[in-house]
Chain A
């Protein structure tokens, strides 16, 4: 029997968290989901990665330590290689299946580790090097419960939402709700134009601060470009770059009972996708991401850590979030496929040799929600004028064939991206001669003192297989952070200098957000 979707979770961690009765309720809900998937032409399978018999069947090792991402990565690879599913759904938050964590050094960056799910979507074997996971090729999402909370009803609600979902006409997703930090207006306007060909409904914070009515939040596409912080249930605005005022513009409880069933959300905000424990050490509201899903959203794309992007143009977090919504808008794509397409487009669009902020972006953004749900129905292939196909016989088999073909292309694209793109590693390097002069000139031009700096290089030996195109160039990035103290205002900026064969090629500036 071909398996189209694997639902991966951890039996012992679920039992410990919810007790026997709670676990049984969840298991029963998953059985109903599998039945509902069958009606959607998907053969789904629940797999407990910690149950030896289930893992033996796929020649894999059972997970023994629920906190060890290496064991999960090995188990998921075994499951994927055996079943070749079109969807991988991780069931549970990070106390059921942990994120993989990486060190990605960036000057003045607060995050000691960058957690993410992207390694589970990659063919590359487990490693602690983030650069090994820049080319995801598997459709994957996480249907989370709430970290540290033992009431099973939250997860059952989310599973029920998956069970009941039916794709809608594209017109349902034309309208949007969008909120941005005031002084990031230009960047957010550009993102909205790219996604919706319209940016008139953008709200800025300040002055916008909620609460919001059901009508305000009724559009089914939500896009945020706000400040976020570690373990807070809020997003924040800021009037200008130099202000100490970070007014709350969205709070998770403002969403309660106001979200349309099927809403798809993308949030650029720092920590917007962090699945924190709302009960320890003190009790706070649920994360905004968890709250969206509880209130019938079907997908939330956000970042586990501090995210990057320029203030008045486009880069990093702007791209990966807008690509996701664009892929949804095209119609016919599941949330999981749309996210994978966004990840691949993000890496493909960037430099062949990634800069460190792009590396952090690909690792930190994740999809929360059942990856097999399709928000917008596909237009029939037999639509007159669209293709030469006049009729389709064996509809279900045809649909499966089409999906498998798409997966093949995405997997091949992952191989292509992996062979053409490369991720940076921190190196010790000095600069001399004309290069030193050019870097000094760039620092002067952009008014950087050059005090804090990290240099990145690329591992030798990773070369594209194309014969006639020389790519053995020596790339390096020199990243400077600059802190300017003012009486009231402090400004922090990042200058990313791309050097190729001892010549400065590009200078990028990330203004602090």
Chain B
């Protein structure tokens, strides 16, 4: 379920690959942001919702993402690499 009225926010964490979708028909591997509050899937406007190779370059890196917390995923509008 997407959040009803998401507001723009910023999250920080490390990008990793993770299995998503359990054993459903659309189980897949996606990129997630590992934050102090848990993992959240990263999605980009216009990006493939299952596997968006745009995030490959960030794998293993710490980043700050600006966008919308949609509940099951984070809709990324801007990314900054952090240290």
Determine if chain A interacts with chain B.
Answer: yes
Interface on A for B, CB 8 Å cutoff? 101, 106-113, 115, 184, 225, 227-232, 236, 244-246, 248, 268-271, 276-277, 280-282, 284, 305-309, 317, 481, 483, 490, 492-494, 510-513
B78 interface contact, C-beta 8 A = no
Within 8 A of A (CB), among B1-48: 1-2, 5-8, 19-29, 45, 48
> Which of A101, A106, A230 lies at the interface centre, i.e. has the most chain B CB atoms within 10 A of its CB?
A230
Interface on B for A, CB 8 Å cutoff? 1-2, 5-8, 19-29, 45, 48-51, 53, 68, 70-73, 75, 77
Tell whether, in the assembled complex, residue A306 and residue B25 are in contact, meaning their CB atoms are under 8 Å apart. yes
Q: How far is the CA of A246 from the CA of B26 in the complex (A)?
A: 10
Q: Which residues of B contact A112 (CB under 8 A)?
A: 1, 71-72
> Which of B2, B22, B45, B71 lies at the interface centre, i.e. has the most chain A CB atoms within 10 A of its CB?
B22
CB-CB nearest in chain B for A106: B22
Tell whether, in the assembled complex, residue A246 and residue B48 are in contact, meaning their CB atoms are under 8 Å apart. yes
Tell whether, in the assembled complex, residue B22 and residue A281 are in contact, meaning their CB atoms are under 8 Å apart. no
The listed residue (A236, A305, A309, A492) touching B19 by CB distance below 8 A is A492
Min CB distance A282 to B, Å, is 5
Q: Which residues of B contact A225 (CB under 8 A)?
A: 25
Report the 3 A-B pairs with minimum CB-CB distance, sorted nearest first: A494-B23, A108-B22, A513-B25
Q: How far is the CA of A308 from the CA of B24 in the complex (A)?
A: 5
Tell whether, in the assembled complex, residue A268 and residue B50 are in contact, meaning their CB atoms are under 8 Å apart. no
Q: How far is the CA of A499 from the CA of B12 in the complex (A)?
A: 45
Q: Which residues of A contact B7 (CB under 8 A)?
A: 281
Tell whether, in the assembled complex, residue B25 and residue A269 are in contact, meaning their CB atoms are under 8 Å apart. yes
Q: Inter-chain contact count A-B, CB under 8 Å?
A: 121
CB-CB nearest in chain A for B73: A230
Interface residues of B, dominant DSSP? loop
Q: How far is the CA of A281 from the CA of B73 in the complex (A)?
A: 13
Q: Which residues of B contact A111 (CB under 8 A)?
A: 1, 72
Tell whether, in the assembled complex, residue A282 and residue B21 are in contact, meaning their CB atoms are under 8 Å apart. no
Q: How far is the CA of A112 from the CA of B1 in the complex (A)?
A: 8
Tell whether, in the assembled complex, residue B22 and residue A481 are in contact, meaning their CB atoms are under 8 Å apart. yes
Tell whether, in the assembled complex, residue B2 and residue A270 are in contact, meaning their CB atoms are under 8 Å apart. no
Q: Which residues of A contact B25 (CB under 8 A)?
A: 184, 225, 227, 268-270, 306-309, 317, 513
Tell whether, in the assembled complex, residue A308 and residue B23 are in contact, meaning their CB atoms are under 8 Å apart. yes
Q: Which residues of B contact A113 (CB under 8 A)?
A: 1
Q: Which residues of B contact A110 (CB under 8 A)?
A: 20-22, 24, 72
Tell whether, in the assembled complex, residue B26 and residue A270 are in contact, meaning their CB atoms are under 8 Å apart. yes
Q: How far is the CA of A271 from the CA of B73 in the complex (A)?
A: 14
Min CB distance A349 to B, Å, is 19
The listed residue (B27, B45, B48, B68) touching A492 by CB distance below 8 A is B27
Q: Which residues of A contact B20 (CB under 8 A)?
A: 110
Q: Contacts A230-B49, A512-B27 known; A109 to B2 CB distance under 8 Å?
A: no
Tell whether, in the assembled complex, residue A512 and residue B24 are in contact, meaning their CB atoms are under 8 Å apart. yes
> Which of A106, A244, A248 lies at the interface centre, i.e. has the most chain B CB atoms within 10 A of its CB?
A244
Min CB distance B54 to A, Å, is 13
Q: How far is the CA of A400 from the CA of B42 in the complex (A)?
A: 54
Q: How far is the CA of A106 from the CA of B73 in the complex (A)?
A: 19
Q: How far is the CA of A225 from the CA of B2 in the complex (A)?
A: 23
Tell whether, in the assembled complex, residue A280 and residue B73 are in contact, meaning their CB atoms are under 8 Å apart. no
Tell whether, in the assembled complex, residue A281 and residue B49 are in contact, meaning their CB atoms are under 8 Å apart. no
Min CB distance B69 to A, Å, is 9
Q: Which residues of A contact B28 (CB under 8 A)?
A: 227, 246
Tell whether, in the assembled complex, residue B50 and residue A282 are in contact, meaning their CB atoms are under 8 Å apart. no
Q: Which residues of B contact A232 (CB under 8 A)?
A: 49
Tell whether, in the assembled complex, residue B26 and residue A306 are in contact, meaning their CB atoms are under 8 Å apart. yes
Q: Which residues of B contact A284 (CB under 8 A)?
A: 45
CB-CB nearest in chain A for B1: A113
Tell whether, in the assembled complex, residue A230 and residue B70 are in contact, meaning their CB atoms are under 8 Å apart. yes
Min CB distance B76 to A, Å, is 11
Q: Contacts A112-B71, A282-B45 known; A231 to B24 CB distance under 8 Å?
A: no
Min CB distance B68 to A, Å, is 4
Q: How far is the CA of A387 from the CA of B16 in the complex (A)?
A: 66
Q: Which residues of A contact B5 (CB under 8 A)?
A: 280
With A108-B27, A281-B70, A512-B27 known, 13 other A-B pairs at CB within 8 A are A101-B1, A108-B23, A110-B21, A227-B26, A227-B28, A227-B50, A230-B49, A246-B49, A271-B26, A280-B5, A493-B23, A494-B23, A513-B25
Tell whether, in the assembled complex, residue B26 and residue A513 are in contact, meaning their CB atoms are under 8 Å apart. yes
Q: Contacts A230-B2, A246-B50 known; A481 to B23 CB distance under 8 Å?
A: yes
Tell whether, in the assembled complex, residue A277 and residue B2 are in contact, meaning their CB atoms are under 8 Å apart. yes
Q: Contacts A110-B22, A281-B68 known; A513 to B2 CB distance under 8 Å?
A: no
